Amino acid sequence: SRSTADWQALDAAHYLHPFTDHAALARKGTRVITRAEGVYLYDSDGRQILDGMSGLWCVNLGYGRRELAEVAYRQMLELPYYNSFFQAAHPPAIELARLLVEVTPPQYTHVFFTGSGSEANDTVVRAVRRYWDVLGQPQRTVIISRKNAYHGSTMAGASLGGMAPMHAQGGLPIPGIVHIRQPYWYGEGGDLSPEEFGKVAARALEEKILEIGPDKVAAFIGEPIQGAGGVIIPPSTYWPEIQKIAQRYGILLVADEVICGFGRTGEWFGSQYFGIEADLMPIAKGMSSGYLPIGGVMVADRVARVLIEKGGDFNHGFTYSGHPAACAVACATINILRNEGIVDRVRSDIGPYLQQRWRELADHPLVGEARGVGLIGALELVKDKATRQGFADPGEIGTLCRDICISNGLVMRAVRDTMIIAPPLVMTRANVDELMDKARRSLDETLQK
Ligand code: PLP
């Protein structure tokens, strides 16, 4: 095997990394992760690192689950690939469709398979427009999303997303996608209570619908909790108000469950945590615990009927829609989540424990707010806790803290100056304690610098 220096030289020479400052990467050298077990990563120098991010919010069952590798292996020997275009399908995809309908909220009767969360959101854009077209309202094309949302990196996914640095590259958003404010109480709530602010933030949807004209609006999309935007947990009043407004104007509601789905909040889906009854639900990541790439869109009965019975054909699909090995792994993932009671454990045991310990960090001089739900959390690093004033150069201290965390053997992500965790759902209390010790030590060292 190659040395770390060799890997880094090859990486620097040939590898264009996603969402990466390549100058900083060249300076620091790529960290080469060679293996993982349970909740720990190991790098090419043999260092052990606690994975506080489940890879990229996806390895919910932790690393090294042999049965997931074994079902993939067996499926590849039996039938490594077939499509579902040619009036055909195969057992793993059909079985997964059945299982998904069983574990998702009751309105969902169908699923469309994709290879990723981004493809799922592209599928949403096309399905929503197709739906209104079939119903004889082709002028309903506008999809309303939110600033600082993340819905993927394809042209439609990045357009649905509300990330200014993404829009700045490639001339986004594409036409027909507009953004309203986010329900970010800590940063934007001012003097309002969370409950008051939640309603104010939701009413921005009604204002936007009226501005555009209700007969032109097709759908609203939101992550139950904005993940990549900084783990923004809306006040409890937000989603019920959004739901009412969507109903009032008859627009479709889309809950992007790519991060929240499959147990992250302690419910199977973030929609259940917040009481959202959506029409479409993009899923990915935790669906296969990240072991193989797969995503999909859950489709509510009333939408499926229009697309299937009235529409007939939906001219959309991917070579890897419902890949057999990925479907087999997703089935096994869902069965493990169920059989081992993992979601219940997040809700009633490890989630509350992690949240209690996480909130203890709010006493740290750098931490303005420690928030979270289930096994997802954020720390707001601020200059002045009383006024919530941030640092002069946003992102500087977050990046520093992230690098210090890594040197202390912990992956914590930085979104500007918000530190984020979303560890594997299978964590033990000892793992939580270790995460907290490393996080506190890293905050102390960040403060000293
Ligand atoms: N939607 C949400 C809420 C996400 O967090 C992500 C990825 O982080 C995506 C969609 C895109 O998924 P993928 O990276 O699998 O394309």
Rounded Cα distance between 334 and 192, Å, is 41
Q: Of all atoms in ligand 1, which is nearest to the CA of residue 228?
A: 5
Ligand 1, residue 116: give the atom nearest the CA: 15
Q: Residue 50's pLDDT band (boundaries 50, 70, 90)?
A: very high
Q: Which atom of ligand 1 is nearest to the CA of 56?
A: 8
Q: Which of 116, 166, 226, 285 should be mutated for ligand 1, with most atoms under 8 A from CB?
A: 285
Task: Indicate the average pLDDT of the chain.
Answer: 98
**Average pLDDT of the segment spanning 287-306:** 98
Does pLDDT of 2 surpass 90? yes
Look at strands 48-51 and 40-43 and give their pairing. antiparallel
What pLDDT is stored for residue 380 in this prediction?
98
Whether 1 has a pLDDT exceeding 90, the answer reads: no
pLDDT digits (tens, 9 = 90+) for 75-111: 999 999 999 999 999 999 999 999 999 999 999 999 9
What's the CATH number for 68-339? 3.40.640.10
Instruction: Give the C-alpha separation, 314 to 182, whole Å.
Output: 32
Rounded mean pLDDT, 275-286? 98
Q: Give residue-wise pLDDT tens across range 354-397.
A: 999 999 999 999 999 999 999 999 999 999 999 999 999 999 99
- The reply to whether ligand 1 has any atom less than 6 angstroms from the CB of 150 is yes
Please report the pLDDT score of residue 372 as a whole number: 98
Measure Cα distances from 160 to 156, 235, 284, 342, 405 in Å: 6, 22, 17, 32, 32
The span from the CA of 162 to the CA of 166, in Å, is 8
Q: Is 100 in the pocket of ligand 1 (CB under 6 A)?
A: no
157 CA to middle of ligand 1, Å?
8
Q: Concatenate the DSSP letters of all residues of 121-142 into one string.
A: HHHHHHHHHHHHHHTT-TT--E
Which value, in Å, is the radius of gyration of the alpha carbons in the chain? 22
User: Ligand 1 pocket, 141 CB below 6 A?
Assistant: no
Ligand 1: distance of its center to the CA of 26 in Å? 26
CA distance 242 to 274: 11
pLDDT at 342: 98
What's the rounded mean pLDDT across residues 6-15? Answer: 97
ipTM of the complex in this document: 0.99
Mutate which of 259, 298, 320 for ligand 1? The one with the most ligand atoms within 8 Å of its CB, which is: 259
Q: Which amino acid is at 327?
A: C
| CB 116 near ligand 1, within 6 Å | yes
Ligand 1, atom 13, lies closest to the CA of 117
**Does the C-beta of 420 come closer than 6 Å to ligand 1?**
no
Please give the pLDDT value at position 58: 98
Q: State residue 183's pLDDT score.
A: 98
257 CB near ligand 1 (under 6 Å) = no
CA atoms within 13 A on the CB side of 9: 5
**C-alpha of residue 118 to centroid of ligand 1, in Å:** 6
Which residue out of 54, 56, 122, 151 has the highest number of ligand 1 atoms within 8 Å of its CB and is therefore the one to mutate? 151
65 lines ligand 1 (CB under 6 A): no
Packing angle, helices 238-248 and 194-212, rounded to 10: 20
In 10 A of CB 304, how many CB atoms?
22
SS3 of residue 146 by DSSP: strand
CA 49 to ligand 1 center in whole angstroms: 24
SS (H, E, C) 404-448: HHHHCCEECEEECCEEEECCCCCCCHHHHHHHHHHHHHHHHHHHH
Distance, in Å, from the CA atom of 45 to the CA atom of 49, rounded to the nearest integer, reads 11
DSSP 241-268: HHHHHHHHTT-EEEE--TTTTTTTTSSS
259 in ligand 1 pocket by Cβ < 6 Å?
yes
Helix axes 324-339, 66-78, angle to 10 degrees: 150
How many Å lie between the centroid of ligand 1 and the Cα of residue 152? Answer: 5
State in Å, rounded, how far the first CA of the chain is from the last one: 37
Ligand 1 center to 221 CA (angstroms): 13
Chain segment 391-435, per-residue pLDDT in tens: 999 999 999 999 999 999 999 999 999 999 999 999 999 999 999
The pLDDT-based confidence of 221 (bands split at 50, 70, 90) is: very high
User: Domain limits of the chain?
Assistant: 31-64+341-448, 68-339
Compute the distance from residue 117 Cα to the ligand 1 centre, in Å.
Answer: 5
> Does any ligand 1 atom lie closer than 6 A to the CB of residue 227?
yes
The Cα–Cα gap between 269 and 276 comes to 10
Nearest CA, atom 10, ligand 1: 151
Cα–ligand 1 centroid distance for 283 (angstroms): 9
pLDDT tens readout for residues 312-332: 999 999 999 999 999 999 999
Mean pLDDT of 210-237: 98
Nearest CA among 143, 128, 50, 132 for reference residue 299: 128
At the top level of CATH, the class of 31-64+341-448 is alpha beta
Output the residue whose Cα is nearest ligand 1's atom 12.
117
Q: Which atom of ligand 1 is nearest to the CA of 257?
A: 3
Closest residue by CA, ligand 1 atom 1:
151
Is the predicted pLDDT of residue 292 greater than 90, yes or no?
A: yes
Mean pLDDT value across residues 173-202: 98
